[in-house]
Structure 1
Amino acid sequence: MQLAARFAADLAALWPEEEREGPLGLAVSGGPDSLALLLLAHAALPGRIAVCSVDHGLRPEAAGEVALVERVAAARGIPFTPLAVKLAPGNLQAQARAARYAALAEWAAAQGLGSVATAHHADDQAETLLMRLNRGSGLAGLAGVRPRALIEGSEIPLLRPLLGWRKAELAQVVAEAGISPADDPSNTDPAFDRARLRARLAEADWLDPVQIAASAAHLAESWQALEWYAELDWHEMVMREDTPEGLPGYTYCANVPRVIAIETILRVIRALGGHATRSEAARAWERLWAGENASLGGVLAVPGVERVEKVGVMMRVWRFRPEPTRGSVN
């Protein structure tokens, strides 16, 4: 009961009672982490959860893992839905993740669920932060796995109430319930970066994954502050100015730190129907700051320095327009 109360408190911090308009959906793979999520949620919210399990079609064992989750859910009277997805060509892990979350959103909408929870825990968060540090990620990446977000392309809240829990704690919950969880061999396959890092972390007992996860949470708060400032920058320093040809265009008075300007550039690109990554927007910022034109996401940005009437000073002014098609005559 103590663990159930702890889980209920962690869940309430992400999903207050007054915001709950439907049952809690759980994404359960059959591994020890997600089975622990099922057991804890069942104890804390009896009769108010639903479970699904996704088969990505990548391993022959996956069907048995889905069946395991179905048996565990059925034994507790929990509604269960098996989901099968087909992956598009490309990076398998990335495609599996995209397909999984798309399936979760569709399932949640069809079942009238209030939100969906996954079993990411402190060890996962620590691994994510260290991997991204090693890749030179910016603040958005270093914020790690968010405790609460929306499933991409939907309005379904995505919750991760176990980010303060250790993997060993969750395994113990499952063991005490007398359940033998599934074992995904990719978790220890050295072909994957995360598996190699996980093995090294197990040897470094001086590292505390809970504290590393706490650092990721602090970075996430910092990122939220930057997002707030970027929203302000968009509304106060970006003006729509259509071209003489009637095409949409935007003028940006760029007078903020680089990290904020990058977010504003991305928003301008999206507003003009284009797409760019943060690294591409960062390179565009460098060119514009140096007084050079930049092209990204089908948008041409031209820098200048002008007196801006609304602030009464000389400022960098960058104009964004749809990039002329090849062969067009200006």
Structure 2
Amino acid sequence: MPNSSVSAAPDVSARQPIDAAEADLLLAPLAGMPAVALAVSGGADSTCLLWLAADWLKRRRAADAPAPDIVVFTVDHGLRPEACAEAEAVLSLCSRLGLPAELLTWSPPSDLTNLQAEARRARYALLGAAMARRGIEALATAHHRDDQIETFLDRLTRGSGVHGLSAMRPDAADGPGGLRILRPFLSVPGGRLRATLAVAGIAHSDDPSNENPKFKRVRLRRLMASLGNEGLDPDRLLATVQRMASAAEALDAWGSQVLKQHFFQHPAGPGRLARSALATLPAEVRLRLLQRVLGHIGGEDYPPRFERLERLDTVLFSSGTSRQTLARCVIAADPVSIAFWREPGRQSSEAVDIQPGGSLLWDGRFRLSLSAAADALHIGPAGGLLSGLDRDLRAGFPAEAFVRSPVLVSASAADDTPAVVPGFSPLPSGVSLAHLPLRL
């Protein structure tokens, strides 16, 4: 039965609007940046971020205080009939608030098997390309305290380890799509964001999926009240998240030293770790290190489940030679090293054209940018193109490790310019193509 010593009274402070003084504190980390993008869907949370950021920016400029340029991006994902109107409402509000805004659109393919996951991946890819085009390095989102707790509970049900249970970070350098993600509201209850909009008289849209119990996050949110009756109130849950984050940070610092000394990556994608560097590490450090390398090589936004990492680790260190697949990666171990490369045939990125002045994230791994003076290019997977090249150029990796490497060719059908692959041939003038960095 419920713990009678714990009050179940509603938390009045969770419905107090955010005033200017508190907004100054919450948004202070943005002040020293040259430019920040805001991801605004039109829902209550992101609309509150937009409103508070615009008001904060106006106050700082009036006081001649350091302030970033702020650009708003809204995505019409086409998943609901209302999506277009909601995006237009965001653009209209930005115009009223005096902030530059851009509409990004995505048309979902008809054959997607996991629509929500692919929509999320597409959204961050669109945001990343738009930010690169404008030279913006950080994206602010409106994730709040309730989202943080939902994330923690969801990962708890999945058996996550220390890093998974540290949930979302307020400043994540290695967010989805390789973006730096800022989350200034992680300590703020979601009800306070809605209360702030109500006081300001700012309208917002509502996504009906936020109340649909078929979604796990909705069921977890409803579970929070019962947990509070047993002493697991939001403050205690957040304290646990913060302790996990501190432990995760210490483990990552250890793993980063190992990666600096013992990880090698070919410019075309494959990577290699010295086996001896891993064998003596504590299991928790080793598992996290493997998780980081898999995410880096495979380009996945979400890490594999902890139990799958444990199985990988067991096989790697119970035999001298092995070959496995996980997180869109092939993991091939021999007695000396462990090689990782992008698995062929898994969620293949389409070959696409890129125009002068454009930028895109290809396959979740490679950032391609063209200067305004460069020629239009076509980027796609190498396939068997590199199978006959010298082993020294392949740095000892097998030819199959480059099947999912990027290849650049001229977008002009009449141009017979040779194909270009990073690490095998020099890039054309005005072209930047590089793997997203492994965060250390």
The answer to whether the 8 Å contact 1:123/1:210 transfers is no
Which position in structure 2 is the counterpart of 1:83?
104
Which position in structure 1 is the counterpart of 2:241?
216
Matches of 1:116 and 1:274, distance apart in 2: 19
Which position in structure 2 is the counterpart of 1:314?
none
Deviation string 1:171-218 (CA, Å, 9 cap, x unpaired) is 011001112321100101111111111222245554432442342233
Deviation at 1:294, TM superposition (A): 3.3
Deviation at 1:282, TM superposition (A): 2.2
Which position in structure 1 is the counterpart of 2:195?
172
C-alpha distance 33-264 of structure 1, shift in aligned 2 (>3 A): closer
Which position in structure 1 is the counterpart of 2:41?
29
Amino acid at match of 2:282: P
1:117 counterpart = 2:140: yes
Matches of 1:32 and 1:194, distance apart in 2: 17
Secondary structure of 1:158's counterpart equals strand
Matches of 2:272 and 2:50, distance apart in 1: 50
When the two chains are superposed, the root-mean-square deviation of aligned CA atoms in Å is 3.3
Which position in structure 2 is the counterpart of 1:320?
338
Amino acid at match of 2:168: V
Deviation at 1:56, TM superposition (A): 1.0
The answer to whether the 8 Å contact 2:76/2:105 transfers is yes
What TM-score, normalized to structure 1?
0.78
Deviation at 1:259, TM superposition (A): 1.6
Deviation at 1:81, TM superposition (A): 1.2
**Correspondence list, 1:259-278, <5 A:** 259-265=284-290, 277=304
Which position in structure 1 is the counterpart of 2:23?
7
The answer to whether the 8 Å contact 2:40/2:74 transfers is yes
Matches of 2:124 and 2:313, distance apart in 1: 32
Secondary structure of 1:51's counterpart equals strand
Query: Size of the alignment, in residue pairs?
Result: 300
1:42 counterpart = 2:54: yes
Which position in structure 1 is the counterpart of 2:281?
256
C-alpha distance 34-107 of structure 1, shift in aligned 2 (>3 A): same
Secondary structure of 1:252's counterpart equals helix
Deviation at 1:224, TM superposition (A): 1.6
C-alpha distance 280-252 of structure 1, shift in aligned 2 (>3 A): farther
Structure 1, 55-64 or 2-11: larger mean CA deviation:
2-11
The answer to whether the 8 Å contact 1:300/1:320 transfers is yes
**Correspondence list, 1:234-245, <5 A:** 234-235=259-260, 238=262
The answer to whether the 8 Å contact 2:44/2:205 transfers is yes
* Pairing partner for 1:72 from 93, 100, 103: 93
Return the structure number with greater helix share. 1
C-alpha distance 271-11 of structure 1, shift in aligned 2 (>3 A): closer
Matches of 1:3 and 1:274, distance apart in 2: 40
Which position in structure 1 is the counterpart of 2:310?
282
Amino acid at match of 1:216: V
Percent identity over paired residues: 36
Matches of 1:132 and 1:144, distance apart in 2: 8
Deviation at 1:284, TM superposition (A): 2.6
Amino acid at match of 1:251: R
Deviation string 1:110-133 (CA, Å, 9 cap, x unpaired) is 233352210000000001101110
The answer to whether the 8 Å contact 1:27/1:116 transfers is yes
Unaligned runs of 5+ in 2: 1-16, 62-68, 265-270, 341-396, 401-440
Deviation string 1:228-278 (CA, Å, 9 cap, x unpaired) is 111223455x488xxxxxx97843241121121224445677899999946
The answer to whether the 8 Å contact 2:263/2:272 transfers is no
Deviation at 1:61, TM superposition (A): 0.9
What TM-score, normalized to structure 2?
0.60
Structure 1, 223-232 or 46-55: larger mean CA deviation:
46-55
Deviation string 1:275-307 (CA, Å, 9 cap, x unpaired) is 99465442132134445643224343246xxxx
Which position in structure 1 is the counterpart of 2:333?
301
Matches of 1:225 and 1:282, distance apart in 2: 20
The answer to whether the 8 Å contact 1:4/1:41 transfers is no
**Correspondence list, 1:145-224, <5 A:** 145-150=168-173, 151-154=175-178, 156-202=179-225, 204-206=227-229, 207-224=232-249
Matches of 1:103 and 1:287, distance apart in 2: 38
Structure 1, 213-222 or 62-71: larger mean CA deviation:
213-222
The answer to whether the 8 Å contact 2:144/2:189 transfers is yes
The answer to whether the 8 Å contact 2:124/2:177 transfers is no
